[in-house]
Amino acid sequence: MARLCEGRVAVVTGGARGIGREHSLSLARHGAKVVVNDLGGNMDGTGDDKSPAQQVVDEITAMGGEAVANGDDVSSWDGAKRLIDTAVDAFGDLHVVINNAGILRDRMLTNMTEEEWDAVIKVHLKGTFAPARHAAAYWREQHKAGKPVSGRIINTTSVSGIYGNPGQTNYGAAKAGIASFTVIAALELARYNVTVNAVAPVALTRMTENLSAAPANDAERDMRSPRWIAPIATWLASPEAAHVTGRVFEASGQVLAIAEGWHRGPRVKPVDDAEALGPIVEELLSKARKNAGMNGEDGHPPQPA
Contact partners, residue 294, CB within 8 Å, separation at least 6 = 159, 160, 163, 164, 165
Q: Which helix (H) or strand (E) covers residue 195, if one does?
A: strand 194-201
CB 11 within 8 A of CB 87: yes
Q: In the prediction, which pLDDT does 298 show?
A: 73
Q: CATH top-level class for 9-259?
A: alpha beta
Supply the DSSP symbol for 15. T
C-alpha distance from residue 174 to each of 12, 102, 105, 113 (Å): 19, 10, 12, 16
Q: What is the pLDDT of residues 208-225, one digit of tens each?
A: 445 455 555 666 767 778
Out of 138, 163, 171, 192, pick the active-site residue: 171
Q: Which helix (H) or strand (E) covers residue 25, if one does?
A: helix 18-29
Residue 253 region by backbone torsions, left for phi larger than 0, else alpha for psi between -120 and 50, else beta: alpha
DSSP per residue, 236-261 = HHSGGGTT--S-EEEESSS-EEEEP-
DSSP 3-state assignment of 220? helix
CB 136 within 8 A of CB 86: no
Q: In the prediction, which pLDDT does 297 show?
A: 86
Query: Taking Cα atoms as reference points, which of 255, 196, 259, 206 lies closest to residue 229?
Result: 255
Q: What is the pLDDT of residues 236-272, one digit of tens each?
A: 999 999 999 999 999 999 999 999 999 999 999 999 9
The residues of the chain that CATH labels 3.40.50.720 are: 9-259
DSSP 3-state assignment of 165? coil
Residue 138 annotated in active site: no
State the Cα torsion 27-28-33-36 to the nearest 10°: 80
Q: In the prediction, which pLDDT does 303 show?
A: 65
Crossing angle of helices 127-144 and 169-189, rounded to 10° = 10
DSSP 3-state assignment of 155? strand
Q: In the prediction, which pLDDT does 44 show?
A: 56
Q: For the chain, how many residues are written?
A: 305
Q: In the prediction, which pLDDT does 222 show?
A: 73
Q: Which residues of the chain register pLDDT less than 50?
A: 206, 208-209, 211
Backbone φ and ψ of 245, nearest 5°: -155, 150
Q: In the prediction, which pLDDT does 129 show?
A: 98
User: What is the reported pTM?
Assistant: 0.91
Query: Taking Cα atoms as reference points, which of 96, 19, 27, 22 lies closest to residue 67?
Result: 27
